[in-house]
Amino acid sequence: MPKDRSMTDSSAGAQNARGTDPTAAKALKKPKLLPRRRLKESDVNVVNQPMLKKAMGGTIVGNTMEWYDVGVFGYLITTMGPTFLPESDPATQNLFLLGTFAATFIARPLGGVIFGWLGDKVGRQKTLATTLMIMAASTFAVGLLPGYAQVGLWAAVLLVILKVVQGFSTGGEYAGATTFVSEYAADKRRGFFASFLDLGSYLGFAMGAALVSVLQLTLGQDAMEDWGWRIPFLAAGPLGLIAIYFRSKIEESPQFQATLDAREEAAKDATNNDPVAANGPLATVKANWRPILVAMVVVAAANTAGYALTSYMPTYLSSEKGYDEMHGTALTIPVLVIMALCIPLTGRLSDKVGRRPILWVGAVSTIVLAVPAFMMIGIGEVWSTLVGLALIAFPVTFYVANLASSLPAQFPTSSRYSSMGIAYNFAVAIFGGTTPFIVAALIKATGNDMMPAYYLMLTSAAGAIGIYFLKESANKPLPGSMPSVDTQEEAAELVATQDENPNFVVADLPFDDVAPLDSSSAGKASTS
């Protein structure tokens, strides 16, 4: 009598499960997963416009204040030397103060690591408020420092210490501000809104230059060297309080708030914890080392050009081209203001044509225009100097307008602040902040006042390579975040066209983890 077929199949299945057929056993053990669900309107983040405006205002005001503080020191380098090293020649005084400016950037990577970790752990808003308070306090304290006549070389030591503290706080500022604004803005307008941060930065530089120029004009060089140089630093006190007030009013970004909420849910199940967020900076570098390296190269190129224009140029015009201190500072003001006003236009353009093409313009134009720019400055006339400064400002406008939107988009939400803090600050510390010191030393060593042009060409050639490997991010959701739009109508359209949308793949969006398909969930899946 033949055996029942169902019994035979059952016995075979049991035999396979016991190990005679490893492939079948593996198939039996592997849980079936529910298919990824579709994007729904409730998944799409619709930007709260009043909150966005408040966030933009608080972030830009703070960022302007930060870079006013950084810029003032650069504009006073040729003035402060006699206070701290009166027995040295002017060239040595300038090198000391340029080196002190560079020392500010030594602490930036540490600040970027610590504040970046805090920003990813406790929130962007609290961390940004802290960096601003430290920055304003340390800048104000510089204005109170005793000089060499009172405490000898300790005056120079105290100056270096305060500048290092200032650099430590700045390490968390730009990375946090760019992360914050990028997470608030809609995907299709991220370049435009994020570019306002650098508008604020260069307006901050211009504010510092304007104040220093007015003081030099009204007080005279002797009074500036004696006590007038302190005024711009002391002004950082009340200005900082105003900026802190505005920054304290902004709320946490919705993208990061969603990550915090997800972590709270994941904490209930230890297997779902985010290892990058849990293990800190080392895990961040291990997980994101490729985009961190690419970002560092691009940041180095952009900031070498930026700091050559803002922090070194007043010193270059005074020490190498024969301008007095007032004109060396004042000539940069109109260029900085015009450049700052053009930055949002370049940011908007990147939303249309992409981040990488705009950054390519910055790199290539630096290589092409650097030598003509310094040749024009070398003519020695005011008009030719302004033309030369404008030729340097042109590529800087294309560079910096897109860093704030392109770099945060290289990293996932859970470790974005940390990754930005590491990439941006290590690059700026090694290349950007040291630019004034390096080019001054190169000129002194070679006697060739065209060395700044060659240095800018070299760093931008490296930057072009970095841009080649940079991931295009215009109009796309931030990694680890859902799409972000301006209106509910745009959200509906996005959901309706999700399969044809070239800016994202539905399967790559951060939906909740899908549970194994058991008998109960199978029933739910079949009915839904």
* Tens of pLDDT, residue by residue, the chain (528 residues): 444 444 444 444 444 444 444 444 444 444 444 445 788 888 898 988 888 888 888 888 877 877 787 778 877 887 898 889 888 888 888 888 888 877 887 888 898 889 888 888 877 888 888 888 898 898 899 999 998 889 888 999 999 999 999 888 888 888 888 888 888 899 999 999 999 988 888 888 888 888 888 898 899 888 998 999 999 999 988 888 888 888 877 777 666 666 666 656 555 554 444 555 445 678 888 888 999 999 999 999 999 998 888 878 877 888 778 787 777 778 888 898 899 999 999 999 999 999 999 999 999 999 999 999 999 998 888 899 999 999 999 999 999 889 989 999 999 888 888 898 899 989 988 887 778 788 888 888 898 889 999 999 999 999 999 999 999 999 999 988 889 999 999 999 999 998 888 888 887 788 754 333 333 333 333 333
**120 occurs within a structural domain:** yes
Q: What is the pLDDT of residue 280?
A: 66
pTM of the complete model: 0.77
Write the CB contacts of 181 (distance below 8 Å, at least 6 apart in sequence).
55, 56, 59, 193, 194, 196, 197, 404
**249 occurs within a structural domain:** yes
**497 occurs within a structural domain:** no
Q: What is the pLDDT of residue 7?
A: 43
The total domain count for the chain is 1
**244 occurs within a structural domain:** yes
Complete DSSP assignment for 90-149 = HHHHHHHHHHHHHHHTTSHHHHHHHHHHHHHHT-HHHHHHHHHHHHHHHHHHHTT---HH
DSSP reduced 3-state for 46: strand
Q: What is the largest CA-CA distance in the chain?
A: 118
Cβ burial 12-48 (10 Å sphere, 16+ → b, else e): eeeebeeeeeeeeeeeeeeeeeeeeeebeeebbbbbe
**411 occurs within a structural domain:** yes
Could you tell me the CATH number of the domain that includes residue 53? 1.20.1250.20
Q: Would you say how long the chain is, in residues?
A: 528
DSSP reduced 3-state for 485: strand
C-alpha torsion sign, points 409, 254, 413, 240: positive
**85 occurs within a structural domain:** yes
**40 occurs within a structural domain:** no
Helix axis angle for 173-184 and 190-219, nearest 10°, is: 140
Q: Which residue segment(s) compose the domain that 453 sits in?
A: 46-256+288-485
**498 occurs within a structural domain:** no
The vertex-25 CA angle with 22 and 26, nearest 5°, equals 85
To which residue do tokens 């301006």 refer?
Answer: 486
Write the CB contacts of 415 (distance below 8 Å, at least 6 apart in sequence).
120, 276, 277, 283, 284, 287, 288
Q: What is the pLDDT of residue 102?
A: 77
Q: What is the pLDDT of residue 161?
A: 93
